[in-house]
Structure 1
Amino acid sequence: MPDAKILIVDDHEDTLYALESALAPLGYQLGRATSGDEALKQVLRGQVGLLVLDVRMPRVSGLEVVRYMRRVEQTQHIPVILVTGFGPDHELTAAAFGLGVADLVMKPVDPWALRTKVRYLYDAHRARLALEQEIRELRALVKEHPGTTGTDEPAPAAALPHPDARVPPQRASEAHDGELEQDRT
């Protein structure tokens, strides 16, 4: 997902511009949407690695966008930062974190804090996707390798020596002598 973008969603043009200006120094590809419907369309098309999403928008709210995303396998793990200008709201906070939102940010947004959060979440998401791809590739190699069972299970471990095979067993008298030496010190 090298060209995955950060999608910024808000129904106010000035807020979109402010969020884009705050995130531009990161150097990531940025996209924009002015409604929840438009955001969902872009997310479902793929190539979105993170959403910075306004909570309260006409017709489809930010929470409704997240609810839908969490029900769809291809979008359920995309990190979301919700942005709200209505101050602390315990019900909103509980609903957001209950849906797996990564963070809830209050307006006016601190650009430094937002950049830090976005960088961490975006990079972690990309690393997770790369790891999942590597796992798929390794599973494919294991299935092709003649020493495997042909399933997702690895070959029986009987061919490998036990990790303790080279460690000689400790005699009871040696263990007792070691305890006595420790008692003398």
Structure 2
Amino acid sequence: MPTAARPKILVVDDREDTLFAMESALAPLRYPLDRASTGDDALKAVLRGGIAVVLLDVLMPDVSGFEVAHYMSRLEQTQDIPIMMITGAGQDTALAVKAFELGVADYVVKPVEPWVMRTKVRYLYETSLRIHALRDRLRMHEAEEESGSCLPAARFEDRPLSRPA
């Protein structure tokens, strides 16, 4: 039985030199990478599937990073993909607020130290894999429950939330 391909990190920027720099900074992680140079290409890539994390330039011609993030947040198949927005526009609180209102996981101002980028991407990538594995397990359990092949379990919504001591 063939093993499934590891999900990729999608690096999106309209500048070739920035794409190269980000790919070089991430190379030591040895995660599969994909690239897009427009917002439209980024949307096509995430809709094809197999993306674990998106590193997304904020200001791009045509379709901006904000528009990509907004679109991804509205689609069930892409809304759980963590997005790290990266900007060369400097410290701009309004841009950061707008990004976090869209639900991005992180907002970073260029230049980014390579080890900082790797640390953040490693965390987002591993977290994304865990979330997808948990969702798959939940779907499998629900399918078993519906088919009658397992005893019904209490729904998560029916359980009280425990508070840490």
Report what 2:92 is aligned to. Answer: 89
- CA deviations 1:143-174 (Å, max 9, x no partner) are 344674xxxx538xxxxxxxxxxxxxxxxxxx
Equivalent of 1:99 in 91, 102, 105: 102
Report what 1:154 is aligned to. Answer: 153
1:113 and 2:116 aligned: yes
- CA deviations 1:89-133 (Å, max 9, x no partner) are 111011000011111111111110110000001110110000111
Q: Which has the bigger relative contact order, CA under 8 A and spacing at least 6?
A: 2
- CA deviations 1:61-93 (Å, max 9, x no partner) are 101100011111100110000111111111101
Report what 1:136 is aligned to. Answer: 139
Report what 2:12 is aligned to. Answer: 9
* Superposed CA RMSD: 1.6
Q: CA deviation at 1:30?
A: 0.3
Structure 2: give runs of 5+ residues left out of the alignment.
155-165
> Within 1, Cα distance between the matches of 2:114 and 2:9?
15
* Seq. identity, %: 54
SS in 2 for 1:81: strand
Q: How many residues are paired up? A: 151
Equivalent of 2:76 in 73, 77, 94: 73
Q: Which structure has the larger Rg over C-alpha atoms?
A: 1
Q: Residues 144 and 150 of structure 2 are in contact (CA less than 8 Å); yes or no, is this contact kept in structure 1?
A: no
TM-score relative to the length of structure 1: 0.77
TM-score relative to the length of structure 2: 0.86
Q: CA deviation at 1:27?
A: 0.8
Structure 1: give runs of 5+ residues left out of the alignment.
156-185
Question: Which amino acid in 1 is paired with 2:70?
Answer: R
